[in-house]
Amino acid sequence: MNERLNTIDTSRLPQHIAVIMDGNGRWAKQRGLDRTFGHKEGANTVRRILRECGRLGIPYLTLYAFSTENWNRPKAEVDALMSLLVSALHDELPQLMENQVRLNVIGNLEDLPLPCRQGLDDAIRQTSANTRITLTLALSYSGRSELKNCMKKIAEKIENQELSSKEISDEIILQNLYTHALPDPDILIRTGGEQRVSNFLLWQIAYAELFFSPILWPDFSEEHLRDIIIQYQSRERRFGKTSEQINASKQ
Ligand code: FPP
C-alpha cells in the first residue's frame, strides 16, 4: 500500500470534495493539440479521481464540468464537450454500477442538448440505488443563478402563504438549492493555477477549506488528491470559534 495513504487519518476524512477542473485547454496547447484533446484527457482524470475517492471512502464528489459562462466558448468546443459527456456516460455506466457510484447533476439542465439530458436521465435512473459515492456533475451551472432560483422559489412560497419570511433559515435555503441532498463541501480544489471560485457553489463553500493547485487537470493525480487530504487534516476548522473552544469540544 502507498505510504502516503497510511498518513491519511481515515477516521477524519472529508465527506464532500468539490473540484473546479481547470487547465484542460492549456494542457492540450502545451502539446500542440486541439483543446478537445485536453478535455478527453480531463475525462480520464475524472475516472481516476472518482475511483480514488471511492477507494478512500469519501461519500460525495462534485465536479464543475460546464459553467453557464462556458456556453460562450467556440461552438466546436461546446459541441465536443457535450459529445464527450454523452459518450463518457454511455461508456462508464458499467464502471459506475460496479463501483457503486450514484450519479447526480446540478445546473440549468434544460439548457443541455437533448441527447445529453437523455444520457444523464438514464444514468441517474440506473445508478439511483448505488450507495458508495455520489458523483455530482455541475453542468450549465452558475452559483448566482442557483441562488436566484432559490430566492424565487422561497418568494413564491411566501406569496402562496406556504411560508412566512420569519421562517427563512439556513435549512429552508438549503432545501431550495440544487444541492439540497448534499452536505456542504469540506474541501474545494481548483486545479490549473488560478485562485478564484468562479461562481461555483457560492452558498455551500462558506466554510470549505480552499486548495489551489498549479497542476493542470489532466495531470492531476491520485497522489495530488491524497496530498490535499493530508493538508486538510492538518488544518484546524474553527467555524468562527476559537482554538480553545474547538479543543474543549473534542474532550
Ligand atoms: C476547464 O478547462 C474545463 C472545462 C471547461 C471542462 C471540464 C470537462 C472535463 C474534465 C471533461 C468531461 C467531464 C466529464 C464529467 C466526463 P479549460 O478548458 O478552461 O482549460 P484552460 O483554462 O487551460 O483553457
Question: Tens of pLDDT along 58-101?
Answer: 999 999 999 999 999 999 999 999 999 999 999 999 999 999 99
H or E element at residue 105: strand 101-106
Using DSSP bridges, classify how beta strands 60-67 and 133-141 pair: parallel, antiparallel or unpaired.
Answer: parallel
- Write down the pLDDT at residue 238: 74
Integer CA distances (angstroms), 107 to 128, 148, 198, 199, in order = 18, 12, 14, 12
Answer yes or no: is pLDDT of 9 > 50: yes
Answer yes or no: is pLDDT of 102 > 90: yes
- Write down the pLDDT at residue 1: 45
pLDDT in tens, 155-182: 999 999 999 999 999 999 999 999 999 9
What value does the mean pLDDT take over residues 180-195?
98
Confidence of residue 242 (pLDDT cuts 50, 70, 90): confident
Selected catalytic residue, list 22, 24, 186, 199: 22
Confidence of residue 246 (pLDDT cuts 50, 70, 90): confident
- CB under 6 Å to ligand 1: residues? 21-26, 35, 39, 42-43, 46, 63, 65, 70, 84-85, 88, 137, 192, 217
Mean per-residue pLDDT of the chain: 95
